[in-house]
Amino acid sequence: PRIMDTEIEEDKYAPYRVTDYSRRYPEDSAAGYEFVVFIESSTEQPIGTRDMMNLSTCFTRVVKGIKYLKKINKFKIGVVFDRPNLANAFLDNSTFLRDQNLKATIPAGTTEMTGVINSVPTSMTNKKIFNELGLGTNCKKVICVRRIMRREKVGESFQLQPTQSVAITFSASTSLPDYVFIKMWRFPVLPYIPPVKQCFRCLRYGHLGKFCKNSERCSICGDQHNFKSCTSSSDKAICVHCQGNHLSISGQCPIKKQKIIENKNK
């Protein structure tokens, strides 16, 4: 098992996922939909720097069922299929992917849904919750259980503290179950609203710092240095997004507030 029953404290709230899980489109998916597969370079060279026409020629010679290709960003393109079985088969074409130095994945948003249950005792580990889960009448396959954590300041540093909310991800789902059961207790399942992604390195929205290759910016003054070496004080901060008098990572920023609203409406 991924986590032993005698879990140590630091592993207690680690997300618990089913083993050997790989995203796939349901073979009985309704006709008329598009089935996208994301591809990235398996080397350090971003796929966006490769010759687009040569890349499309390679695909049309070998891969069946492609409707079109679309650029997602510098590091990722989408291969759109008209049938789910052909999209799934492309994932299994290891020879082609290896020869072209590519990695292929199905985006989570197309095959998975995440809901949230509340009032779950923090003494329960994610593995324990997973093992105890019984579903409502609308049965779904649970693939991940994750305790939602909150950053709290402890002394001079921040630490993650558990909340009583738990996110549950279901596979091959177009809707969430109305409720789930844990030890006979019924928990209503609510839609999960993801937090706004903001990079603490470049301060832009939409990605996280561990994936960022942009220049570092200070969250206090906006210049290109780490905030720890900034000579300006926080009460003189200038937000790089709205030019307001607050840190660029502040929840009071009107730009961030708008992005939170956009996430809720997705």
Confidence category of residue 31, pLDDT binned at 50, 70, 90: low
Q: Averaged over 12-31, what is the pLDDT?
A: 84
Q: Distance between CA 253 and CA 100 in Å, rounded? A: 44
In this predicted structure, which of 62-71, 91-100, 114-123, 153-162 has the lowest mean pLDDT? 153-162
Q: What is the pLDDT of residues 203-255, one digit of tens each?
A: 999 888 887 888 999 999 999 999 989 999 888 999 999 999 999 999 899 99
Residue 8's pLDDT is: 43
Report the candidate in 266, 263, 110, 113 with the shortest Cα–Cα distance to residue 194.
263
Residue 33's pLDDT is: 83
Laid out side by side, the sheet with 102-105 consists of: 66-73, 76-81, 35-41, 102-105
Residue 138's pLDDT is: 53
Q: Distance between CA 120 and CA 147 in Å, rounded? A: 9
Q: Give me the architecture of the 209-265 domain, per CATH.
A: Irregular (4.10)
Inform me whether the pLDDT recorded for 7 exceeds 50.
no
Q: Distance between CA 193 and CA 149 in Å, rounded? A: 14
Locus of tokens 């923090």: 122
Residue 139's pLDDT is: 55
Q: Distance between CA 240 and CA 226 in Å, rounded? A: 14
Beta-carbon neighbour count of residue 133 at 10 Å? Answer: 17
3-state secondary structure of 57: helix
Q: Does CATH place domain 35-105 in 3.30.70.330?
A: yes
Domain borders along the chain are 9-20+112-191, 35-105, 209-265
Q: Is the CB of residue 20 less than 8 Å from the CB of residue 103?
A: no
Strand partners, 166: 117, 147
Beta-carbon neighbour count of residue 246 at 10 Å? Answer: 20
Q: What is the pLDDT of residues 166-194, one digit of tens each?
A: 999 998 766 889 999 999 999 999 999 88
Q: What is the pLDDT of residues 47-106, one digit of tens each?
A: 888 888 988 898 888 898 899 999 998 889 999 998 999 999 999 999 999 999 999 999
Q: Is the CB of residue 181 less than 8 Å from the CB of residue 189?
A: no
Residue 1's pLDDT is: 34
Inform me whether the pLDDT recorded for 136 exceeds 90.
no
Q: Kindly tell me the burial class for residue 129, based on how many C-beta atoms sit within 10 Å of its own C-beta (0-12, 13-18, 19 or more).
A: buried
Average pLDDT, the chain: 87
